[in-house]
Amino acid sequence: MIIKPIQLSSPDIGDEEKKAVNDVLNSPSLSMGPYIKKFEGNFSNYLGVKNAIAVSSGTAGLQVSVIAAGIKDGDEVITTPFSFVSSSNCLLYEHVKPVFVDIDPVTLTIDSEKIEAAITSKTKAILPVHVFGLPCNMDKIMAIAKKHDLVVIEDACEAIGAEWHGQKTGTFGNFGVFAFYPNKQMTTGEGGMVVVNNDTHAAILRSLINQGRDTDGTWLHHIRLGYNYRLDEMSSALGAVQISRINELLKKRDHVAEMYNKRLKKIPGVTIPCSSQGVRRSWFVYVIQLDEKYNRDSVMKKLDAEGIPTRPYFTPIHLQPFYIDRFGYKEGDFPVAEEVSHKTLALPFHNNLSEEQVEYVCNTIERILIS
């Protein structure tokens, strides 16, 4: 018998968030009002950065970061094939070629030992992705970037609050990008944030997301090609409260992850997410790997029949149909990412999963694997 309906993900929204959104709805300012300034201020304070620019999505944040960095048609950017597709699409929007480097089989983040071999005369940047909230090796990546005079755009969309040896993700590179879709650690519904310490970059970003308008506020004065990538006041109000609760939200996720870790590490055939000394994971999703003797998709179907929703994470970007058609990628090009993609399984994960629900999920997995 199913304990009670189990959601794959669910936002943690309280009365304070609802009040803030209602405050906006009862005001004349539904866009470009006081809450977006509050959200940006709260966010920059949390990360300890000079500038935080709210945007309509993490994807939008990545794209405008590429533009603000001066990366252009014909340039190349090194990144990972094991990610959500937007971390590469943001390059294609600007006619920039993503150059993939395979992943580390343990951390599932870009293999920093393979980055230098991929650098060419056209390489202008590295775009590391902190997959599943686990930081990349930022010491190594920043050293490579400095040596070769490369820009670093951190995709921290899944990693708010994660830390690499005491420093928060998103604060290492020239640009850091975060996202707040409802399954993330904090949410604004849709939305994202770009953080930079360079004031010139910040001014360019603010212009880009506001139709290319001059940042002096002159009405209908557009100084560059821009986009409508602003974040609205209702989303900003939600975000302003969520970021003020971020430590509480992350602590809740830590607790659920620890319940899973404690139970699942005892089940043969299951590999739990890795941990490293000095590295703080910010739990975005909880992804296990199944031993290759099990058919992951078959296990998913059996779990679904038991009322347990799951998802495969990720299909490698280079094997997405569009990328195959455009670049001619094939199986075997990035074997580690491909092997991992066949074994990974995202389990139900959100702040308010009960111990009873986690136990039900784990017991069901164990029963299916031994049957």
Strands 123-127 and 151-155, by their bridges, are parallel
User: Alpha-carbon distance 158 to 286, whole Å?
Assistant: 12
pLDDT digits (tens, 9 = 90+) for 18-77: 999 999 999 999 999 999 999 999 999 999 999 999 999 999 999 999 999 999 999 999
Residue 6 has pLDDT above 70, yes or no: yes
Confidence of residue 219 (pLDDT cuts 50, 70, 90): confident
pLDDT at 1: 52
Q: Work out the average pLDDT over 190-219.
A: 94
Residue type, 311: R
pLDDT digits (tens, 9 = 90+) for 306-362: 999 999 999 999 999 999 999 999 999 999 999 999 999 999 999 999 999 999 999
Quick check: 33 and 233 in contact, CB under 8 A?
Answer: yes
pLDDT digits (tens, 9 = 90+) for 113-147: 999 999 999 999 999 999 999 999 999 999 999 99
Domains plus CATH for the chain?
Answer: 15-244 (3.40.640.10), 247-370 (3.90.1150.10)
Encoded tokens for 247: 């430590």
User: Alpha-carbon distance 135 to 166, whole Å?
Assistant: 11
Burial class of residue 127, CB neighbours in 10 A (0-12, 13-18, 19+): buried
User: Alpha-carbon distance 159 to 190, whole Å?
Assistant: 16
What is the 8-class DSSP label of residue 307? Answer: T
Nearest to 190 by CA among 157, 227, 163, 168: 157
Q: Work out the average pLDDT over 86-94.
A: 98
Mean pLDDT of the chain: 97
CA-CA-CA-CA torsion for 186, 191, 196, 199, nearest 10 degrees?
A: -140
